[in-house]
């Protein structure tokens, strides 16, 4: 249930992101989900890719600062209140979210990537409430 997310430090500099996507393409690595947190000087790119270990290796070889972070991927119905219900559960259980981002995987389902310091407990409580989570095998294939 724990998914490996790649985080990459990026300077705000033209063409830098293209270099990164090029390296992944050359190594036949698919990007499933993707988000950028940006500040005035730098950005942190977070993404879920296929073959995360390989992705980490080739990016490091190309001089990127890369880090693998554990996240969970929660499937929610693609309709009003879908996200709210899951967040309410986490909040009721005192689990705080460091950051999150979402992507729609089909017309009726969306996936939310959630980073928390308490991944295991988050998985427990979400499953207890019968919410669906992506498995590592599923997500890298998306």
Q: Name residue 8's beta-bridge partners.
A: 45, 66
**Are the C-beta atoms of 82 and 98 separated by less than 8 Å?**
no
Q: Which of 3, 7, 110, 114 binds other proteins (CB under 8 A)?
A: 7
Residue with Cβ nearer other proteins (58 or 131): 58
DSSP line for 63-85: T--EEEEEEEEEEEESSTTHHHH
Length of the chain: 142
Residues 41-100 that bind other proteins (CB under 8 A): 41-42, 44, 46, 60, 63-67, 69, 98-99
Report, in Å, the least distance between residue 90 CB and other proteins: 18
Residues interacting with other proteins, by CB under 8 A? 5, 7, 9-11, 16, 37, 39, 41-42, 44, 46, 60, 63-67, 69, 98-99, 115
């Amino acid at each position: 249930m724990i998914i490996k997310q790649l985080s990459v430090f990026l300077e705000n500099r033209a063409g830098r992101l293209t270099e990164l996507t090029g390296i992944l393409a050359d190594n036949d690595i698919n990007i499933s989900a993707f988000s950028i947190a940006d500040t005035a000087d730098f950005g942190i790119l977070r993404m879920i890719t296929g073959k995360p270990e390989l992705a980490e290796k080739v990016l490091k070889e190309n001089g990127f600062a890369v880090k693998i972070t554990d996240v969970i991927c929660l499937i929610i119905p693609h309709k009003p209140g879908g996200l709210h219900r899951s967040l309410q559960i986490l909040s009721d259980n005192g689990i705080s979210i460091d950051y999150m981002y979402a992507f729609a995987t089909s017309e009726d389902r969306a996936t939310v990537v959630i980073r928390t310091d308490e991944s295991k407990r988050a998985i427990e409580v979400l499953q207890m409430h019968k919410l669906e989570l992506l498995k590592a095998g599923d997500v890298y294939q998306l």
